[in-house]
Amino acid sequence: MQKLFVPVSMRSKLFSYLFLFVIFITVVLWLFQVVFLDDIYTMISVSNLKKVSRSIALTISQDGIDGAEESTFEHASDSSLCVSVYRFIGSSCSEVIHAHGKGICMLHTFSSVSFIQELRDGAEEREVYSRYIFSGGDGSSGSVAVPDRDVASLITAQLAFFGDKEYMVVIEAFVFPVASTVSALRVILIWVSIILILGALFLAWLISRRIAGPVYSITREAGKLKRGDYSLRCSGGGIRELEVLSETLNRASEELSGLDSMQKELIANISHDLRTPLTMITGYSEAMRDIPGEMNAENMNIIIDEAQRLSSLVSDLLDLSKIQSGQLPMKPEVLSLTEVIREVLLREAHFTEHEGYDIQFISDRDVYIFADRVRLLQVVYNLVNNAICYTGDDKRVTVRQSVNGGVVRIEVIDTGEGIPEEKLAFIWDRYYKVSEYHRRGQVGTGLGLNIVKNILIAHGAGFGVSSLVGKGSIFWFEFPVYG
């Protein structure tokens, strides 16, 4: 299937995100410092003038014009403003206070009756009226417009009443030429943007070194797995998430390496185990064909025995592969465990009848359990067979059945050499053999106990072994008694 997108390197991604972030910051700076600067500046100036205007108007309305004079002069000088208070009597108007806190005062240069009337009309409409006036014109628009001429003043007008007397507080503030400020800011912003982009480049480089570096090294190391090289040495460069990932990969490679060597060992074991009986069969068959007098029943029996061994090896392998893939079918039913043991011992009767073995079964009654019959036969058969195989020279094997607190315990006891304690834990592993030497010429596959273990686990049954070197071993398993 065709890929819908082309994967991009981590470094490029990091850089593009940082670059986008820088663009965003630059745009925000440009908007606030250049595009909206006039509006923001006007807004702040108007709000400051309004505050002064309201304070003077309040003093007039409380203390009259005489009481407001002093504070008006104070405001004017403190804030470098030009403040005029007009008194209206009918349609005529006269200036009652004139406080100069700044050098240039355009209010008086341009003020005319119609201008004062415009301010009065404006102040009647809203609490504080504001507008610009410019040195080169009359500033005919009543609204607050961006001053783009050389010198501009911001004017506010507010009405104040003391009794039936009507006053108007007019304040003028010099407005700095914003256009020149904007061009200065623009130059600064170009530098800031360049510095930000360089900073982003440096940051991208730094982050990619710190984060992408370990990721690249982990990817490189993980690539070894593809080539069947399990010598991974991943490190997360001190980043917690990457450390966890590295740890997981290192452990996975160790396990894969273990599996790999186990698989190799398995193949070697299987080939060896298959070859031994096949060599015997071929050797004996050839001898029988080529050497006169060798065509006898004894040789035939050897060939049949080896063929049987081969067949049991193959079926063990099949069982094992089923166990490994979780496909060992279990058909549990209520059955007599005592009967199953008797059946296995009957199969092994030739050992007692012809080879001098003493195989005892100790049980005081028939015990029923819930288990898969075929698998249980396999368990008992393997344990009894091992006991026969490894028991001592007295050729004694005992199978003991005991019931305790609703649990039946089967012990298969031999008098052999036993198993050293340090090896006990491993005998249930696949292909584990305590030694290559097998008593009584038995071909051991090292699979039997592993199969036993898996069957018992699948039944939820308890099992174990105790062994004393030089005395013998006791293999046991337990099932809950049914009913």
Question: Would you say 38 or 414 has its CB closer to ligand ADP?
Answer: 414
Q: By CB under 6 A, which span of 212-220, 239-247, 330-338, 445-453 interacts with ligand ADP?
A: 445-453
Question: Would you say 372 or 417 has its CB closer to ligand ADP?
Answer: 417
- Interface size with ligand ADP, residues (CB under 6 A): 19
Using CA atoms, how far apart are residues 96 and 105, in angstroms rounded to an integer?
17
Question: Would you say 172 or 414 has its CB closer to ligand ADP?
Answer: 414
Residues 385-444 that bind ligand ADP (CB under 6 A): 386-387, 390, 414, 416, 419, 427, 432-434, 444
| CB-closest chain residue to ligand ADP | 444
Q: By C-alpha distance, which of 414, 397, 416 is closest to 470?
A: 416
Q: By C-alpha distance, which of 278, 225, 210 is closest to 256?
A: 225
> Minimum Å distance from CB 267 to ligand ADP?
17
Using CA atoms, how far apart are residues 34 and 53, in angstroms rounded to an integer?
29
> Minimum Å distance from CB 209 to ligand ADP?
54
Using CA atoms, how far apart are residues 133 and 155, in angstroms rounded to an integer?
7
Write each residue from 451 to 480 as x if it is in contact with ligand ADP (CB under 6 A), else as -, in one continuous string.
----------------------x-------
> Minimum Å distance from CB 355 to ligand ADP?
17
Using CA atoms, how far apart are residues 283 and 296, in angstroms rounded to an integer?
14
> Minimum Å distance from CB 389 to ligand ADP?
6
> Minimum Å distance from CB 275 to ligand ADP?
16
Count how many residues are written for the chain.
483
State which of residues 158, 338, 445, 454 lies at the interface with ligand ADP (CB under 6 A).
445
Residues 175-214 that bind ligand ADP (CB under 6 A): none
**Residue located via tokens 């002093």:** 70
> Minimum Å distance from CB 387 to ligand ADP?
5
> Minimum Å distance from CB 316 to ligand ADP?
8
Question: Would you say 137 or 464 has its CB closer to ligand ADP?
Answer: 464
Question: Would you say 61 or 312 has its CB closer to ligand ADP?
Answer: 312
Question: Would you say 150 or 394 has its CB closer to ligand ADP?
Answer: 394
> Minimum Å distance from CB 372 to ligand ADP?
20
Question: Would you say 62 or 435 has its CB closer to ligand ADP?
Answer: 435
Question: Would you say 219 or 324 has its CB closer to ligand ADP?
Answer: 324
Q: By CB under 6 A, which span of 204-212, 270-278, 325-333, 381-389 interacts with ligand ADP?
A: 381-389
> Minimum Å distance from CB 414 to ligand ADP?
5
- Whether the CB-CB separation of 401 and 341 falls below 8 Å is answered with yes
State which of residues 64, 213, 392, 446 lies at the interface with ligand ADP (CB under 6 A).
446
What does the radius of gyration of the chain's CA atoms come to, in whole angstroms? 52
Question: Would you say 249 or 323 has its CB closer to ligand ADP?
Answer: 323
> Minimum Å distance from CB 327 to ligand ADP?
21
Question: Would you say 68 or 387 has its CB closer to ligand ADP?
Answer: 387
Using CA atoms, how far apart are residues 101 and 78, in angstroms rounded to an integer?
7
> Minimum Å distance from CB 300 to ligand ADP?
25
> Minimum Å distance from CB 432 to ligand ADP?
6
State which of residues 310, 341, 449, 461 lies at the interface with ligand ADP (CB under 6 A).
449
- Whether the CB-CB separation of 452 and 430 falls below 8 Å is answered with no
State which of residues 101, 214, 277, 448 lies at the interface with ligand ADP (CB under 6 A).
448
Residues 45-84 that bind ligand ADP (CB under 6 A): none
Which residues in this chain contact ligand ADP in the complex, by CB under 6 A? 382, 386-387, 390, 414, 416, 419, 427, 432-434, 444-450, 473
